[in-house]
Amino acid sequence: MSYRQPTAATGVGVFYGYRSTAVTISTDNTKLPMTDASTGNTISSGSIDFGSSRKFFACGEVRADSIGDYQLGDIKIVANDGEVAEGYQVRNNATGTVCMDDACYGTSSQSTVSLFTGEILGSEAITAEANELRVTGVFVS
């Protein structure tokens, strides 16, 4: 795990991408496709597409709406040149011994940003489902 710092800069503003319909989380390191993006940006193959490289800070979150959908695993932010931040544990199960924040954060200087699954506890993978995806961020210098 490393913490990559951004290296290029343009613009001022906030961006977001989201998905409001359920998506199954079943395999490690798989894109969780978003469907909508903030004005000025587009969704390209499930990723937020800025149209050009931008230096950004982003936060990714998922929401599950029933116990059966909860998983024990993590999510991560991925730009078009690869992973920019390993995610955080999305959900602590009822008897878990490990606990952490439930969002992931990343910075990069690329033209797209996506939300991916990270490592999922195997026994949880067959039932996990995200009912909502959110990536919010800000362009930085």
CA torsion sign for 51, 53, 41, 87 is: positive
Smaller CB separation from other proteins, 3 or 51:
3
Q: Is 40 left (phi over 0), alpha (psi -120 to 50) or beta?
A: left
**Quick check: helix, strand or coil at residue 95?**
coil
Please say which residue, 50 or 105, places its beta carbon nearer to other proteins.
105
Smallest distance, Å, CB 107 to other proteins? Answer: 5
Site string for other proteins, 55-84 (x = CB under 8 A): --x--------------xxx----------
Q: Nearest approach, Cβ of 45 to other proteins (angstroms)?
A: 25
Q: Decide: is 101 part of the binding site for other proteins (CB under 8 A).
A: yes
Residue 105 in contact with other proteins, rule: CB under 8 A: yes
Query: What are the DSSP calls for 6-50, one per residue?
Result: P------EEEEEEE-S-EE--STT-EE---EE-TT-EEETTEEEE
**H or E element in which residue 108 lies:** strand 104-120
R_g (Cα) of the chain, nearest Å:
15
Question: Does residue 92 bind other proteins (CB under 8 A)?
Answer: yes
Nearest approach, Cβ of residue 40 and other proteins (Å)? 16
* Phi and psi torsions of 106, nearest 5°: -155, 155
Residues that bind other proteins (CB under 8 A): 1, 3, 5-6, 9, 11-12, 57, 72-74, 85-89, 92, 94-102, 104-107, 118-121, 138-141
